Copies of this chain bind each other. A is one copy, B any other.
Amino acid sequence: MHTLALATDSADLMDKPKKKRAAAQLKDEITAYKRRRILEEASHFFFANGYEATTLDSVAEQLNVTKPFIYSYYKNKGELLYEICQTGIQLSLTALEEALSVEGTASEQLKIVVERVARIIIANQRYVTVYLREEKSLLPEDARRIRELRHAFDTKLAALLEKGKASGEFDVAHPSRTAIWVSGLLSWIALWYHEGGRWSATEVVMDAIAMVQKMVQPAGGKHG
């Protein structure tokens, strides 16, 4: 009865339980699904109340499950936090990398980068906000890994700015420092955007694009 809250019970995925291979794989998928659901609900609470103020009992209750259930899928509360933070930065990093793989001038690429990353941040605000806000609650080792991902993000962004600078498209005195401002502007979206608020997601994304373009735009005028 309780497992109902985890929605889609085995039925959906249960097609060919013939071979052991298939059965084992199915089991893995179900486990992965349960982990995802736990993470999702946890991220809601961490986002709304903060990590320390959130109790695993409340997360379990939301899932119509008990605390030991969570502990059979996650080692402890800290592991949940780490996975949420990891998701937050990894999604942004992946969006950046995919955007960078699109061919085009630096200006075109930058526009795509900002648009896609901004959209990802809005769509995954909970994860990104927790990652930005709860760094201090991570174990030192976990915090280090998160910082590495963030650093990869900033570095790739800096490389793009460098490229635009070399081609004369951008006027940036110091690409790696400017990258941090751009990345901050994107992060700010997560901290500030409110669904159903004064401004729509699209408006915010368009604004972000415009702001970043101005930040790198040569004094002479427009580009790209």
Report which A residues bind B (CB closer than 8 A).
48-53, 132-134, 136-137, 173-174, 177-178, 180-181, 184-185, 187-188, 191-192, 199, 203, 207, 210-211, 214-217, 219-222
Contact = CB atoms under 8 A, between A and B. Distances in A.
A70 to B, nearest CB: 20
17 contacts: A48-B136, A49-B136, A50-B52, A50-B136, A50-B137, A52-B53, A53-B136, A181-B211, A184-B184, A184-B191, A187-B188, A187-B191, A211-B215, A214-B214, A214-B216, A217-B219, A220-B221
Nearest to A188: B184
Interface SS of chain A = helix
Contact of A192 (B51, B184, B199, B203): B184
B199 A177 contact: yes
Contacts of A221: 219-221
Contact of A191 (B132, B181, B215, B217): B132
Contacts of A53: 52, 136-137
Taking the full assembly, how many copies of this chain does it contain? 2
- What 8 A-B pairs come out closest when comparing CB atoms? A52-B52, A184-B188, A50-B136, A214-B215, A214-B214, A181-B211, A133-B133, A219-B221
A36 B199 CA distance: 39
A192 B191 CA distance: 14
Nearest to A216: B214
A49 to B, nearest CB: 6
Contacts of A222: 219
Given A49-B136, A53-B137, A211-B215, A185 B192 contact: no
Most B Cβ at <10 Å: residue of A178, A181, A199, A221: A181
Contacts of A137: 50, 53
A141 to B, nearest CB: 17
Contact of A214 (B48, B133, B174, B217): B217
